[in-house]
Structure 1
Amino acid sequence: MTALLVIAKQPLPGRVKTRLTPPFTPEEAASLAEAALADTLTAAARVPAARHVLVLDGAPGPWLPPGFQVVPQVAGGLDVRLAAAFAACDGPALLLGMDTPQITPEILAPALCWDAHDAWFGAAADGGFWALGLAVPDPALLLGVPMSRPDTGAVQHARLRAAGLRTGSLPVLCDVDTARDARYVAAEASWTRFAARHARLTASTAGTAS
């Protein structure tokens, strides 16, 4: 079975979702990050997997559901941290970020099947990626990929193709990075904690988020 990994930062003010400020305060941005992380972990926990792992920068909090093994992120750039997460797996692995609270087990389900694919790729609307699955985890596929750029996803996907991997595609999703992203995702995923938190915060700021 597939190991399901979520890579995340502890949602502390000033350390997460800094691009949401303004219009949100650092505390509000951290609150939105916490809701997004809780939604992501809840969806991940409902996916049948060999193990559920939170690869965490920081300390776990009350937002962590039961059933997750928590391991610390290594030091280094994001490519190094992602590569290390895969290196710790001895079988198929699917890695998710914490910025797509709209995910559901149904969205993730195809990436648990490796019969016709060696890799799975979930592109983000901003040019990055929100999910990466590897039947045979190989850290070299990630090391050196430039992160947090408009071409990050394209470069990573090209790495998979260059390695000759049969790559399946997951839906393109919007990462929550900006206030505009937050508003869009909250509207698209009205059932989530993230949407409820966003509604409360934007009501309290009289609709200043844009």
Structure 2
Amino acid sequence: MSDLTVLVLAKAPVPGRAKTRLARVTGDEVAADLAAAALLDTITAVAATPGARGHLALTGDLRAATRGPALRAALADWRVTPQRGRTFAERLVAAHADAGPGPVAQVGMDTPQLTPDLLLDAVDGLSSYDACLGPADDGGWWVLARRDPKVAGPLAGVEMSTPATYDDSRAALTAAGHRVCATTVLRDVDTVDDAAEVARLAPGTHFAAAYRAWEATR
């Protein structure tokens, strides 16, 4: 799809601020490195998606981030805008408004196993539906595809990062009159167990290499 925008909502992977659940086990520096590796993998997947352009909605400062130079180089051709809003849900809706009309697939930085096929599968649903949500196996969701940025509006009132976030998001969208389809279930990286499984599933990623390097030191 030649006019596809992939919108990535991300936090700059700064030690002490990134992947705090992972950091309880790995320490701040390793957690930030894993987060940076996951973001690099996401950027790589977008770059490999035919016809796609990248838009990063960022909170934090990449100049203070782990792997900051590599991230800034990878984002050279991207549009980068600051996140706006008090809650994550509000920032998500604002990012969709900033991305504008047209086909958009919005993801985060917790799925380094992302591939172009996964992105395109989500967008394919827009031929018959107003939105496509990809469930995460922890009860959240990893992708929202839509054409009209107003589709994301009902999500402003949804509590994110709960075991019911996918169900609540889908209910909010359908209550607003939007037709919603589902796409592939993926595993988010929040814990060390998540990290181990995702590294196993996607062994050629920056994330898997970073995880193996940490695991070798345990």
Q: TM-score normalised to the size of structure 1? A: 0.92
CA RMSD of aligned residues (A): 1.5
Alignment gaps of 5+ in structure 1: 206-210
Q: Relative to 1, partners in 2 of residues 1:75 and 1:160: Cα closer, same or farther, differing over 3 Å?
A: closer
Shift of 1:140: 2.2
Select 1:105's aligned residue among 116, 121, 146.
116
Shift of 1:31: 0.5
Select 1:69's aligned residue among 72, 79, 82.
79
* Contact 1:4 1:49 (C-alpha < 8 Å) held by counterparts: no
Shift of 1:49: 4.5
Within 5 A, what are the aligned runs for 1:46-195? 46-49=48-51, 51-60=53-62, 61=68, 62-64=70-72, 65=74, 66-88=76-98, 89-113=100-124, 114-138=126-150, 139-195=152-208
C-alpha separation between the residues in 1 aligned to 2:44 and 2:119? 13
Q: Which amino acid aligns with 2:161?
A: S
* Contact 1:45 1:67 (C-alpha < 8 Å) held by counterparts: no
**Once structures 1 and 2 are overlaid, which stretch shifts more, 153-162 or 79-88?**
153-162
Residue aligned with 2:58, SS: strand
Deviations 1:54-101 (A, max 9, x none): 111123332241321111111310000000011121223211010000
Q: Which amino acid aligns with 1:173?
A: L
Where has structure 1 moved over 3 Å in runs of 4 or more? 48-51
Residue aligned with 1:175, SS: coil
Q: Relative to 1, partners in 2 of residues 1:182 and 1:14: Cα closer, same or farther, differing over 3 Å?
A: same
Shift of 1:201: 0.4
Shift of 1:173: 0.6
**Once structures 1 and 2 are overlaid, which stretch shifts more, 163-172 or 181-190?**
163-172
Sequence identity percentage: 44
In structure 1, the residue matched to 2:21 is 19
In proportion to residue count, which structure has more helix? Answer: 2
Q: Relative to 1, partners in 2 of residues 1:49 and 1:146: Cα closer, same or farther, differing over 3 Å?
A: farther
Residue aligned with 1:148, SS: coil
Q: TM-score normalised to the size of structure 2? A: 0.89
Select 2:34's aligned residue among 28, 32, 35.
32
In structure 2, the residue matched to 1:208 is none
Residue aligned with 1:177, SS: coil
C-alpha separation between the residues in 1 aligned to 2:52 and 2:114? 19
C-alpha separation between the residues in 2 aligned to 1:76 and 1:45? 30
Alignment gaps of 5+ in structure 2: 63-67
Shift of 1:50: 5.7
C-alpha separation between the residues in 2 aligned to 1:38 and 1:169? 26
Residue aligned with 1:11, SS: coil
Shift of 1:53: 0.3
C-alpha separation between the residues in 1 aligned to 2:45 and 2:165? 25
Aligned residues: 205
